[in-house]
Structure 1
Amino acid sequence: MGPFEMVVGIVLIVTVGSIIRAKMGGGVRRDRHGSGYRAHNDGADAAEARRLQEEVRTLKERIAVLERVITDNHSVSNLDREIEKLRDGRN
């Protein structure tokens, strides 16, 4: 097999692979850096985004409570109450 035939074979294999991936893979595309991303946003993606937004909101609230507990100069009993509030909110 000569070098020209090898180049043609490689191009053919890559082309066929791209066609098969496009037919089977659906909406995954590549940007110019080679990173994959979804070309469309279906209902599952929107539901996942809402779930993650809710989780981030919850974590931000917990961080705010922890920051307040650490920076406040209250007694140990107040600290125990704040920690129990965090535990109750998690369950």
Structure 2
Amino acid sequence: MDPATIGVMIPIVALMIPIVAIWTRHQQKLAEMNVKSTAEATAEKAAQYASHITDLEDRVRVLERIITDRGYDIATQIEALRDQRRVEGEGAGVPLDTARKERV
């Protein structure tokens, strides 16, 4: 390399050092913001899942309470439905009474 080329390269390199430092700090800030937003999104999803699981647990508790508190005997009820079907005739099935709705 001749001295003129070296003379031009020295200021260019000297000016590139602060530019690279600024660019590196900017990239670091972008990475930190990305990590922060990902952490927030993950925490939000975890809270939603926890809420959903709590709702499901509450529903299971209600169903368990219905079964145990009211003394339901599922096998007896199934047999009663089968007996009712036999009385009404084979193949007729259990009639659906759409006019009357029972609330639990």
Q: Same fold (TM over 0.5)?
A: no
TM-score (norm 2): 0.33
Structure with larger Rg: 2
| Higher relative contact order (CA closer than 8 Å, sequence separation 6+) | 1
More strand by share: 1
More helix by proportion, 1 or 2?
2
